[in-house]
Structure formats: structure tokens, C-alpha cells
């Protein structure tokens, strides 16, 4: 492919710089953290009793960290499964709020995709990990529009959107791929234009969950308790963050009915209480 002429290069550079500034500004100026370092497991003490939304969230975070720390330790190595390691690192990123874990997840999913290029779910998870890094990138204020810092955030935003859309394009019927994209897009600011696709994905997932025979290839998964727990938890959080509080309250209720995990039941209860108090 021939290289574009100098004028085209300059125009593209300027357009990218301006776009980076707009996207960086819209993607949240108030962030925390520092340059990613080797992640550590955050110690969260046991919570008892669970008597508020805060303690319910703390208990759920502690449970996830304990579960996925062991998976990470077992799978992150030459003899481990890089896909499982990637999912564990991603879960640890969301539980510890440490974006260094998101970087570990991307590295693990890169290895998984090197082994199996068509693994759509690995691509979807990698896209979501890129979105986490974009959200938490530790550059504030006007520094975000400066070439370099702004480009890093823009790179991760674009990588996230590209991975998510390619994953769904590769495996449009896979409910977990759809769920990862739907949850990620609704968590991103509306300026990125993904809310409509996220809501459409959730509408499709709702139809499949209500009637698994609409998606016969994955009907067994859609009928499983594990799927229903993942789906209602993801939908509850996404709709609450999006501001669709009635949908979120119903989804939290369905989650409490669909799981036998007492920590999740408490989490759903306190979110329903919080949503009721907010209206």
C-alpha cells in the first residue's frame, strides 16, 4: 500500500490529536492510580454481618478475589490455560480496581488468540480489558489532549471497540460474547456511540434467556443456572449504571431468585433497597 502524501499525513495527525482530546475529556477526567506496576492481590477482610450496600459489595469483592486469585495462580504459566488466566486477571481487575490486572488480562488473551485466532470470547474479554485501561488511565486534566498521553487512552478505546465488534461479528450467537460487549458498551460514556448497540445486545440476550430455543446452538447454556447468574448480575449492574433503574431493580430481583450464592443474594437485596430509596 503506498504511503499517503505529507499533507494527508498531517491532516490525519491533527484529526487524531483533536479526536484524542475530545475522547479523553469525555472519558472521565477524574481518575486514580499511577503507572501500572506488577499487580498485587488486595486483601479484603471478611465481612460479617452484611448490613449495607457497602458491606455487600465488599463481601462480593472479597469472594471474587479469593476465587480468581487461585485460578490465576494455577493458569498463569507455561503449562496453564491463557484464556482462563485472562478471565481471572480481568475479574481481579474489576474486584481490586487495579488496572495493572487489566494489562495482565490483555497479555493472557493475546497468548490465547495466538494459539486460537478465532476464539471470539477471548477477543471480547480483551476488548473489555482495554476499556478498563482507558477508563483508569492515570492522566488528568488538559494533559489528556497532549499527543502521547491522549493517544494512549485513545488507543485503548479504539482497541476495545474493535475487539468487541469483531468478536460479535465472529460469533453473533454466542451469549457470553454478546454479554461482554453489552456490559462494556453500556459502561462507556455515551460519546462513544455504543449505548444503542449495548441495549440491542441486552434485548437479544433477554429474548434468548426467556426462550433458549430461539438460539438452539446455545440453548443448553442459556438454560443453565450459571448463565442466568452471569446474565442477571451483568444486566443489573449495566442498567443501574446506565440509569435504567426499573430494569436494574427487576434484574437484581431475578438474580436473587436465580442464584444459591448467599453473598450474591445479599448483594441483590441491598441494591434493590438502594434503588428503591433513590426514587
Q: State residue 135's pLDDT score.
A: 75
Q: State residue 166's pLDDT score.
A: 97
The domain locations on the chain are 57-171, 174-279
Question: 47 φ, ψ to 5°?
Answer: -110, 120
CA 33 from centre of chain: 18
Label residue 88 left, alpha or beta by phi (over 0 means left) and psi (-120 to 50 means alpha).
alpha
Residues 25 and 140 sit within 8 Å (Cβ to Cβ)? no
Report the 10 Å Cβ neighbour count for 44: 17
Residues 202 and 182 sit within 8 Å (Cβ to Cβ)? yes
Question: Mapping DSSP to helix (H, G, I), strand (E, B) and coil, where does residue 191 land?
Answer: helix
3-state SS of 63-96 is: HHHHHHHHHHHHHCCCCCCHHHHHHHHHHHHHHH
- Give the residue ranges of DSSP H helices in the chain: 6-26, 53-75, 82-96, 99-115, 120-136, 149-170, 175-187, 195-210, 219-222, 225-242, 245-258, 262-278
Q: State residue 154's pLDDT score.
A: 78
> How far apart are the C-alpha atoms of 140 and 131, rounded to whole Å?
17
Q: State residue 67's pLDDT score.
A: 93
Q: State residue 240's pLDDT score.
A: 94
Q: State residue 1's pLDDT score.
A: 34
Q: Report pLDDT digits (tens) over 164-200.
A: 999 999 999 999 999 999 999 998 877 677 899 999 9
Residues of the chain with pLDDT under 70: 1-38, 40-47, 136-150, 191, 277-279
Amino acid at each position: 500500500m503506498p504511503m499517503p502524501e505529507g499533507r494527508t499525513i498531517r491532516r490525519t495527525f491533527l484529526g487524531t490529536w483533536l479526536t484524542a482530546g475530545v475522547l479523553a475529556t469525555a472519558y472521565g477526567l477524574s481518575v486514580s492510580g499511577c503507572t501500572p506496576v506488577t499487580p498485587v492481590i488486595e486483601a479484603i477482610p471478611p465481612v460479617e454481618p452484611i448490613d449495607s450496600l457497602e458491606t455487600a459489595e465488599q463481601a462480593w469483592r472479597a469472594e471474587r478475589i479469593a476465587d480468581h486469585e487461585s485460578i490465576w495462580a494455577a493458569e498463569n504459566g507455561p503449562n496453564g490455560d491463557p484464556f482462563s488466566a485472562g478471565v481471572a486477571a480481568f475479574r481481579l481487575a474489576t474486584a481490586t480496581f487495579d488496572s495493572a490486572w487489566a494489562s495482565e488480562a490483555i497479555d493472557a488473551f493475546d497468548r490465547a488468540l495466538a494459539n486460537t485466532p478465532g476464539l471470539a470470547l477471548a477477543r471480547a474479554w480483551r476488548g473489555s480489558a482495554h476499556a478498563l485501561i482507558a477508563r483508569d488511565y492515570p492522566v488528568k486534566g488538559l494533559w489528556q489532549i497532549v499527543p502521547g498521553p491522549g493517544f494512549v487512552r485513545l488507543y485503548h478505546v479504539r482497541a476495545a471497540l474493535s475487539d468487541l465488534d469483531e468478536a460479535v461479528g465472529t460469533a453473533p450467537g454466542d451469549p457470553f460474547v454478546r454479554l461482554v460487549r453489552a456490559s462494556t458498551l453500556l459502561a462507556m460514556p455515551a460519546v462513544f456511540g455504543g449505548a444503542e448497540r449495548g441495549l440491542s445486545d441486552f434485548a437479544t440476550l433477554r429474548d434468548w434467556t426467556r426462550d433458549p430455543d430461539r438460539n438452539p446452538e446455545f440453548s443448553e447454556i442459556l438454560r443453565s443456572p450459571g448463565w442466568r447468574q452471569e446474565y442477571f448480575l451483568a444486566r443489573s449492574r449495566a442498567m443501574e449504571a446506565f440509569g435504567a433503574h426499573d430494569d436494574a431493580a427487576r434484574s437484581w430481583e431475578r438474580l436473587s431468585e436465580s442464584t444459591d450464592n448467599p453473598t450474591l443474594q445479599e448483594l441483590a437485596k441491598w441494591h434493590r433497597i438502594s434503588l428503591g430509596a433513590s426514587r
